[in-house]
A and B are shown apart, each in its own frame.
Chain A
Amino acid sequence: MNKTVNQKAWFLVLPVLLLVAFNALIPLMTVVNYSVQETFGDNNFFWAGVLWFEEVLRSERFHSSLGRQLFFTFSILLIEIPLGVAIALAMPRKGVWVSVCLVLMAMPLLIPWNVVGAMWNIFALPEIGLLGNTLNALGIDYNFTRQPVAAWVTLIAMDVWHWTSLVVLLAYAGLVSIPDAYYQAAKIDGASSWAIFRFIQLPKMKRVLTIAILLRFMDSFNIYTEPFVLTGGGPGNSTTLLSIDLVKIALGQFDLGPAAAMSLIYFLIILLLSWIFYTLMMRNEDQ
């Protein structure tokens, strides 16, 4: 749509601008403020420069949380995106079953995050949980509160359970927008189902999949409540992701300087990676 230049449109945007600025800029400035100061209590603050940033960037603890975070995010992307697309392809296109599928699949998305964590906790508990008990009865030694590997498997299974539906819904929205004529043309050409997927369905889904990957990337990088309730970051530190570590430092130990520096680094990493994802995928689209 060709838009007209109208500077007065600023007045329409102003309320949103003021509200978001209030919510985003003031807290962000607070964080910046803490990140460059040292305090010994009594509300006395001293200029500390980039000390906290250096400390965080050098610390072993930050490196390992970041490593775990990246591992988590990329594992769930690798599972959820292909799985979501496969399910969307197998879903019916018309009829009563469409509504039934959509409503049931959307359910995990609307369950509060702490309930998701609690639900998976009681589902996977080795003695009393359905999953834990069944696995142990089958002779698999499984206890996610003690074994780091089991904790990771449970954590990833929980996220797949929680968020694959979002990918399914988006991919499905992309699929139903393809006109029937495309399929008829493919049929006349005698195209294989792989060819239909590769040259008709996948290109049509590119836009929604970009959105799906970006949303899943941002949200999985920010994840806090579900792993916190499920494993509390344990056993040991084995499932301590970035935000769990951050809350431990900021609200648990009240080390404001390092916590603030870590917050800023954390936010910058998300911005940078999102921007890279976004430009890479948009460049592909232009070609």
Chain B
Amino acid sequence: MKRLSWLVPTIYILFLMLPIYWLVSMSFKTTNEILGSFTLVPQEFTLENYKKIFTDSTWYMGYINSLIYVSLNTVISVAFALPAAYAFSRYRFLGDKHLFFWLLTNRMAPAAVFALPFFQLYSAIGLFDTHLAVALAHTLFNIPLAVWILEGFMSGVPKQLDETAYVDGYSFPKFFMKIFIPTIAAGIGVAAFFCFMFSWVELLLGKTLTAVAAKPIAATMTRTASTSGYELGLLAAAGALTIIPGAIVIYFVRNYIAKGFALGRV
């Protein structure tokens, strides 16, 4: 029984890889081949689909736009969440528990509920179709998550560290930047990973808050799918390329992913 246990994860990973394989294989096929015949491996191997994406600015700008607002969002979420998580992990104050729960309820808010009001809000303050608008909108669900994860990591750091630093004459900001942040670097990495992840995969808000200048790749894909009909190869290539940033990020945090949630407090 024990000897066969490697089979379970192997079969599961095969199941995970099948649709990805199909997407990648389709991205190297011509439209004729996709619609005309059923082939497991591309017969007329072509790079045409990728060439189109890398030369047409509406396509490659989509990736750049997405990466810009995702990075902005990650920086904003972590920067705002750090002091708040510190307060939650170290102090008791009036309404702290209610505040923490209220923050978490925003993680439960359906994006569909907020799409229209967000559109009106960000239009009203003149941020519509900017990267900042999407980045700020995504903080709605990313800040609660970042606070939650960071609070868990910070609670694991003994309080003596803070007290010793204050005795040594460190001011709060100096202690926080010079000693505390390096101590919880792993936690910041995990929080940043999850912020990146949830901002990168979200489509509805990103699509609602942009028109041209900050249009994310996901929106370019859905609009192409509805207008140009059956260019499946091109869509597959665009989809395959969206997997790459995620895969790179996972590789860097592979030793911390599993810990991210486990250390948090519900």
Contact = CB atoms under 8 A, between A and B. Distances in A.
Interface string A116-135: 00111011000111110100
Given A112-B242, A243-B110, A208 B250 contact: no
A267 interface: yes
A259 B137 CA distance: 20
Given A111-B242, A133-B38, A161-B16, A3 B90 contact: yes
Contacts, number: 279
Given A107-B243, A222-B108, A246-B112, 10 more contacts: A15-B83, A16-B81, A19-B76, A87-B9, A104-B16, A115-B218, A122-B236, A128-B35, A173-B261, A211-B264
Interface in A166-190: 168-170, 172-174, 176-177
B139 to A, nearest CB: 6
A99 B255 contact: yes
A170 B261 contact: yes
Nearest to A210: B266
Interface residues of A, number: 99
A91 B2 CA distance: 11
Secondary structure of the B contact surface, majority rule: helix
A106 interface: yes
A20 B136 CA distance: 9
Contacts of A43: none
A79 to B, nearest CB: 13
Contacts of A263: 110, 112-113
Contact size range, B: 35 or more
Given A23-B137, A110-B249, A104 B17 contact: yes
B53 interface: no
A153 interface: no
A97 B260 CA distance: 20
Contact of B99 (A13, A207, A215): A13
A19 B111 contact: no
A4 B90 contact: yes
Contacts of A104: 13, 16-17
A218 interface: yes
A19 B143 CA distance: 9
A249 B136 CA distance: 26
A136 to B, nearest CB: 10
A170 B247 contact: no
Given A30-B121, A113-B202, A161 B19 contact: yes
B94 interface: yes
A272 B168 CA distance: 48
Residue among B89, B117, B155 having the largest count of chain A Cβ atoms under 10 Å: B117
